[in-house]
Amino acid sequence: MTITTLTFDSPVGRMELVAEGGALTRAHFLVETAEGGSQAVDNASGVAAPTGWAGDAVATGSRAAGAGAHRSAAAGGICPDGSSHGVLQEAQRQFEAYFAGKLREFTVPLAARGTPFQRRVWEELTSIPFGTTASYGQIAARLGMPPGASRAVGTANGANPVAIIVPCHRVIGANGKLVGYAGGLDRKRRLLNLELTSSGQAALFA
């Protein structure tokens, strides 16, 4: 199946969207290297991908596997131009509405790949309302997991391949502090404050 990508500029940095068929499989941030080239940040592994990487047909939660699974957008089966791809166009439209404070719930079809446990965690993340947060421990409890399972939830949270739509940025530490985000804590802070102010609340994360 052809993998199609689309990049656009958002208020929190350039993003790359990846689709296979009629579903979005990845949404991640792009960062500039010291040399001025673009690198994709692989949300699933937390490892900076080679320039031009557009996603992989099988996402994993493994740092080692993720590091070895990157492919160039020029590789066979990958089309980097998603300007006419319906799902990618709609995803960009919804992201732009979200950043403008006009959308709270995404409706883009998703096909995020992961283990059964990772998918359970990601599904639970989507139940965290816009403008609110939950701790890793709270997510574990909602999944019926025993006390002390926060680390497993955190690992699955960090493997989320679809930034913002699956709102891993809404998960914070038990002490209310910002911890762990593949896209960087400054970006996590900005996303949470955007949601708070869009909800008529004061920004809480300085």
Q: How far is CA 121 from CA 24, 137, 142, 162, in A?
A: 18, 12, 10, 13
**155-184 burial, b for 16+ CB within 10 Å, e for fewer?**
ebbbbbbbbbbbbbbbbbeeeeebebbbbe
Residue 90 backbone dihedrals phi, psi, to 5 degrees = -70, -40
What contacts 176, CB < 8 A, 6 or more positions away? none
User: Which residue of the set 44, 168, 192, 194 is catalytic?
Assistant: 168
What is each CA distance from 149 to 13, 75, 90, 144, 160, in whole angstroms? 32, 40, 36, 10, 17
SS (H, E, C) 16-53: EEEEECCEEEEEEEEEECCCCCEEEECCCCCCECCCCE
At residue 196, the 3 state secondary structure works out as helix
CA dist 71 and 75 (Å) reads: 7
* Catalytic-residue membership of 79: no
**Residues labelled catalytic:** 168
